[in-house]
Amino acid sequence: MKKNNLYFLLNISIIMLIIIFIIIANKKFDSYVIRILNLCAIYIILGVSLNLINGFTGQFSLGHAGFMAIGAYVSALLYMSPELKEENFFITPLIWPLSVIQIPFVFSLIIAGLVSAGVGFLVGVPCLRLKGDYLAIVTFGFSEIIRVIFNNLQNVTNGPIGLKGLPIYTNLWWSFGIAILTVLVVKNLINSSYGRALKSIRENETAAEAVGVNLFFHKSLAFAIGAFFAGLGGALLGSFIMTIDPNIFSFLLTFQLIVIVVVGGLGSITGTVISAIIITVLMEVLRSVEAPMNIFGLHLPGIPGMRMLVFAILLMAVILFFKKGLMGKKEWFWDGLFKKCFPSKER
Amino acid sequence: MSVLKADNITMQFGGLAAVSNFFVELKEGELVGLIGPNGAGKTTIFNMLTGTYKPTKGKIYFYNKEINGKGVDRITSLGIARTFQNIRLFSDLSVLDNVKVGAHVHIKSSVWKAIVHWPSYLYEEENIHEQAINLLKIVHLENLKDHLAGSLPYGEQRRLEIARALATSPKLLLLDEPVAGMNPQESKDLMKFIQEIQDKFKLTIILIEHDMKVVMGICKRILVLDYGKTIAEGNPTEIQNNPEVIKAYLGVEATSYA
């Protein structure tokens, strides 16, 4: 038990360090760096929640963009002021109760998460009979259906025009706060008895059922919790980029998240956090290769899209050298760290 | 007291009757062997008893309560546990976690309490941990508890699967070919082990096995199945001398030599 107390203190001190870091970042860093930091945190939220479904429960889902879309729209429609809504919905007016409501950002976040979790549960139920590729196809279909519905539901979502000029509520406190919350909740869930049941479903469904794991309950649990945090992530993203339209939440976004999860390691929270940060930062850093440059007296004009090429090569390298992602299924919490640092103290 | 009663259960796959009118009644503490040539329907019977298949005809009673059509996890929670013919462990989980998953079926705390580490959940978790360690001691795997289940040698995987089944605190244990692929010494050890756990946990056991030494050695009662029908029932000596059984196993010609 002593060890657990030590780990608890270390966890607290890490959170304190992050808080201090945010205070310094807010004062010293320019808005460009802060923007990247925000994106890192949002991708951590989305990656970890996707990993709960794909990595830990082993249900290969491609529906994350759909959950994010729901979260983004639900929250935006709740925290936008009535005047802003009127400005936005100039073709078809917004339906009645929504057009006059305005609630604080916190509550809109919670409701966005809950609605998304509810939809996640509903998606989870019919998907319970499907496995592997078939599940991937159905969940992909779900996220496309959400996109098409949002494109056509003029009087609720404003259709393809989208919502513009959203107030910026997302800041480092919100994004990192929710990222920490996500990591803590998923970590505690995974290390609990319920988490072991989720992993047992990934390992062998037949055996899991035979030792009394209720497949229906546990799969929909994973979908609901994953969708909840995807909803929160979507809401934060919406208020962060200030404008949302249904086509942001296309398959490409899900694909980006899948890349984060796979590179980090399916079934590793620490891996997802690390790869979310690396990939978000790389996407920005690699912009430099698109600029015109001189190599050995050779003038290269800037090639737009070059960054994706370099990115793809890096990805291939990762997949070649780390077949199970950077971390595999391992975690890098204090236990492992101590064993690495003080191998003599073992036994 | 009757632990399990299968009242003329039939399993029909299309035109094929995998099992027809199978009847068995088990008393508390019995160890019954279920034998028969390949494809006789032994595993199908296990699948019906555990709820994987719903019998096309007939009823199954567990402690006089009907369990037909209940879900697999529900039946496990009532107290029927099984092992598989081809080992199905959670290979990427540790040995200890494999056993702990078995204890999950009796958890009372909700998910939310588990996530926030509510005291009542932590207490339960502690109990699960102790129970799992105890079970691992019984199957002599406690020094391997942090290894991945998939990395264990074959015989130990078998024992681990039994430990995992025991973690669900069953009253009836269904063992599907527990000594398949073991050498004579290993299977002898496992026989002893099965009898030990039966005494210790007051279990009723049904055993599917091809190894006649094992079956004749530890089962007091044996059922012989062929083409989905029970062709003989009795104690080991009766079974050994039953002409029907010899015919099913060795063919008609061989009867004259037997």
**A108-166 pLDDT, tens digit each:** 999 999 999 999 998 888 877 888 889 999 999 999 999 999 999 888 888 888 898 88
Instruction: Determine the pLDDT at residue A334.
Output: 65
For residue A206, what is the nearest residue in chain B, using CA coordinates?
B88
Does some domain include residue A297?
Answer: no
**Test the B interface: residue of A211, A219, A225, A330 with most B CBs within 10 Å:** A211
d(CA A33, CA A238): 19
Return all residues near A245 (Cβ < 8 A) that are at least 6 apart.
Answer: A160, A161, A162, A163
- Closest by Cβ to B90, choosing from A192, A204, A215: A204
Instruction: Determine the pLDDT at residue A1.
Output: 52
- What is the distance between the terminal CA atoms of chain B, rounded to a whole angstrom? 38
By the CB < 8 Å criterion, does B133 face chain A?
no
Instruction: Determine the pLDDT at residue B91.
Output: 92
By the CB < 8 Å criterion, does B146 face chain A?
no
> Which chain A residues are within 8 Å of B77, Cβ to Cβ?
212
> Which chain B residues are within 8 Å of A346, Cβ to Cβ?
none
Does some domain include residue B176?
Answer: no
Span A16-39, average pLDDT: 89
> Which chain A residues are within 8 Å of B92, Cβ to Cβ?
199, 202-203, 329
> Which chain A residues are within 8 Å of B76, Cβ to Cβ?
209-212
Which residue from B174, B231, B230, B224 is spatially nearest to B48, judged by alpha carbons? B174
Whether B92 and B161 map to the same domain: the answer is yes
* pLDDT tens-digit readout, B184-212: 888 888 888 899 999 999 999 999 988 88
CB contact at 8 A, A264 and A327: yes
The number of domains in chain A is: 1
For A163, the 3-state DSSP assignment is strand
Which residue from A122, A104, A68 is spatially nearest to A232, judged by alpha carbons? A68
pLDDT of B257 higher than 80: no
pLDDT averaged over every residue in chain A: 87
Window from A325-334, B106-115, B160-169 with minimum mean pLDDT: A325-334
Span A73-89, average pLDDT: 89
Strand partners, B25: B5
How many Å lie between the alpha carbon of A337 and the closest alpha carbon of chain B? 17
Instruction: Determine the pLDDT at residue B152.
Output: 92
Tokens of A26: 């807010």
pLDDT of A345 higher than 70: no
Span B151-161, average pLDDT: 90
For residue A197, what is the nearest residue in chain B, using CA coordinates?
B101
- Label each residue of chain B as H, E or C: CEEEEEEEEEEEECCEEEEEEEEEEEECCCEEEEECCCCCCHHHHHHHHCCCCCCCEEEEEECCEECCCCCHHHHHHHCEEECCCCCCCCCCCEHHHHHHHHHHHHCCCCHHHHHCCCHHHHHHHHHHHHHHHHHHHHCCCHHHCCCEHHHCCHHHHHHHHHHHHHHCCCCEEEEECCCCCCCHHHHHHHHHHHHHHHHHHCCEEEEECCCHHHHHHHCCEEEEEECCEEEEEECHHHHHHCHHHHHHHHCCHHHHCC
Instruction: Determine the pLDDT at residue A111.
Output: 95
pLDDT of A315 higher than 90: no
Instruction: Determine the pLDDT at residue A346.
Output: 41
The more confidently predicted of residues B44 and B250 is B44
Window from A61-70, A94-103, B28-37 with minimum mean pLDDT: A94-103
Side-chain-side CA neighbours of residue A2 (13 Å): 0
The more confidently predicted of residues A218 and A337 is A218
* pLDDT tens-digit readout, B7-63: 889 999 888 889 989 999 999 989 999 998 888 889 999 999 999 999 999 999 999
Whether B46 and B116 map to the same domain: the answer is no
**Please, which pLDDT band fits residue B216 given cuts at 50, 70 and 90?**
confident
How buried is residue A89: exposed, middle or buried, by Cβ count under 10 Å (0-12/13-18/19+)?
buried
Return all residues near B13 (Cβ < 8 A) that are at least 6 apart.
Answer: none
How many Å lie between the alpha carbon of B197 and the closest alpha carbon of chain A? 18
Amino acid at A226: G
> What's the maximum distance between 2 C-alpha atoms anywhere in chain B?
72
Amino acid at B255: T
By the CB < 8 Å criterion, does B82 face chain A?
yes
By the CB < 8 Å criterion, does B148 face chain A?
no
Asked if the Cβ–Cβ distance from B101 to A208 is below 8 Å, we say yes
How many Å lie between the alpha carbon of B184 and the closest alpha carbon of chain A? 28
Instruction: Determine the pLDDT at residue B256.
Output: 55
Span A265-275, average pLDDT: 91
Asked if the Cβ–Cβ distance from A189 to B114 is below 8 Å, we say yes
> Which chain A residues are within 8 Å of B103, Cβ to Cβ?
193
Does some domain include residue A206?
Answer: yes
Helices and strands of chain A, counted as H and E runs: 16, 2
- Closest by Cβ to A211, choosing from B111, B128, B164: B164
Asked if the Cβ–Cβ distance from B93 to A200 is below 8 Å, we say yes
Whether B66 and B84 map to the same domain: the answer is no
CATH of the domain at A126: 1.10.3470
pLDDT averaged over every residue in chain B: 89
* pLDDT tens-digit readout, B119-134: 999 999 999 999 999 9
Does some domain include residue B75?
Answer: no
> Which chain B residues are within 8 Å of A196, Cβ to Cβ?
93, 97, 100-101, 104
Angle (CA) B38-A205-A47 rounded to 5° is 155
Instruction: Determine the pLDDT at residue A343.
Output: 58
- Closest by Cβ to B50, choosing from A185, A210, A215: A210
> Which chain B residues are within 8 Å of A329, Cβ to Cβ?
92
Instruction: Determine the pLDDT at residue A165.
Output: 87
How many Å lie between the alpha carbon of A70 and the closest alpha carbon of chain B? 24
Instruction: Determine the pLDDT at residue A151.
Output: 92
d(CA B16, CA B52): 18
How many Å lie between the alpha carbon of B145 and the closest alpha carbon of chain A? 14
Size (chain A), residues: 347
pLDDT of A179 higher than 90: yes
**Please, which pLDDT band fits residue B166 given cuts at 50, 70 and 90?**
very high
Instruction: Determine the pLDDT at residue B190.
Output: 87
Does some domain include residue A294?
Answer: no
Whether B87 and B165 map to the same domain: the answer is yes
d(CA B163, CA B82): 11
Instruction: Determine the pLDDT at residue A347.
Output: 37
Window from A128-132, A266-270, A331-335, B106-110 with minimum mean pLDDT: A331-335
Boundaries of domain holding B245: 228-258
Whether B204 and B236 map to the same domain: the answer is no
Phi, psi angles (nearest 5°) of residue B34: -125, 110
Does some domain include residue B94?
Answer: yes
Strands B16-27, B65-66: pairing kind: unpaired
Does some domain include residue A260?
Answer: yes
A325: left (phi over 0), alpha (psi -120 to 50) or beta: left
pLDDT of A279 higher than 70: yes
Does some domain include residue B221?
Answer: no
Per DSSP, which regions of chain A are E strands?
293-295, 298-300
Whether B97 and B52 map to the same domain: the answer is no
The number of domains in chain B is: 3
- Closest by Cβ to B115, choosing from A185, A208, A214: A185
Asked if the Cβ–Cβ distance from A196 to B77 is below 8 Å, we say no
pLDDT of A273 higher than 90: yes
Asked if the Cβ–Cβ distance from B105 to A208 is below 8 Å, we say no
Amino acid at A83: E
How many Å lie between the alpha carbon of B170 and the closest alpha carbon of chain A? 10
pTM score, two decimals?
A: 0.89
By the CB < 8 Å criterion, does B101 face chain A?
yes
**Test the A interface: residue of B73, B93, B94 with most A CBs within 10 Å:** B73
CATH of the domain at B57: 3.40.50.300
Chain A contact residues (CB < 8 Å to B): 185, 188-189, 192-194, 196-197, 199-200, 202-204, 206-215, 221, 329
Boundaries of domain holding A135: 7-289+302-345
Candidate ranges A101-110, A323-332, B211-220, B240-249; pick with highest mean pLDDT: A101-110
